[in-house]
C-alpha cells in the first residue's frame, strides 16, 4: 500500500478528496510538515501533498529544507496535466505543493497517478 501524507492549510480537504476516490491501494493521512519529513526520510511514507494559499513556499518550506529540492515540486497556481505528474513521479519527486483552491482538481490527478505507479 502506498502512503500519502497531506499537510498545509488544506490538508483535511486533500485527505477527504482523495479518500472519496476509493482507491484501495492508497493510505492517505493528514500530517504536520515536520512529521511528514521524518516519515518520508525513514521510509514510513511514500509521498507528501502540501497546500497553502499560493501553492508556493509555505506548502513545502520545511520539506524542501529537510528533503532537498530534488525531491520536491510545486505547481503553484497552475494545474498540471496527467502527463506532467507522471513525468515528475518518474523523475523521483515525492513532495508536491499546490494551491488549496486547486484541491478538487489536483488531488485526484495526483492520487490516480501515484496509484498507477503501483
pLDDT digits (tens, 9 = 90+) for 9-50: 999 999 999 999 999 999 999 999 999 999 999 999 999 999
Give the per-residue pLDDT at 58.
Answer: 66
**Three-class secondary structure of residue 93 per DSSP:** coil
- Provide the β-strand partners of residue 44: none
Average pLDDT over residues 88-106: 95
- With 0-12 / 13-18 / 19 or more C-beta atoms within 10 angstroms meaning exposed / middle / buried, residue 92 is exposed
> What pLDDT does residue 118 have?
74
pTM: 0.95
Please provide the average confidence, as pLDDT, over all residues in the chain. 93
Contacts of 75 (CB under 8 A, 6+ apart): 55, 96, 97, 98, 99, 102, 106
Q: Which pLDDT does position 116 carry in this prediction?
A: 96
Amino acid at each position: 500500500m502506498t502512503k500519502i501524507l497531506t499537510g498545509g492549510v488544506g490538508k483535511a480537504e486533500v485527505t477527504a478528496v482523495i479518500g472519496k476516490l476509493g482507491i484501495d491501494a492508497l493510505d492517505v493521512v493528514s500530517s504536520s510538515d515536520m512529521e511528514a519529513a521524518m516519515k518520508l526520510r525513514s521510509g514510513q511514507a511514500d509521498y507528501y501533498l502540501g497546500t497553502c494559499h499560493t501553492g508556493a513556499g509555505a506548502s513545502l518550506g520545511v520539506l524542501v529544507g529537510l528533503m532537498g529540492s530534488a525531491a520536491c515540486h510545486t505547481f503553484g497556481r497552475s494545474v498540471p496535466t496527467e502527463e506532467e505528474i507522471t513525468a515528475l513521479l518518474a523523475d523521483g519527486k515525492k513532495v508536491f505543493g499546490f494551491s488549496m483552491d486547486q484541491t478538487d482538481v489536483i488531488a485526484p490527478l495526483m492520487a490516480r497517478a501515484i496509484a498507477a505507479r503501483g
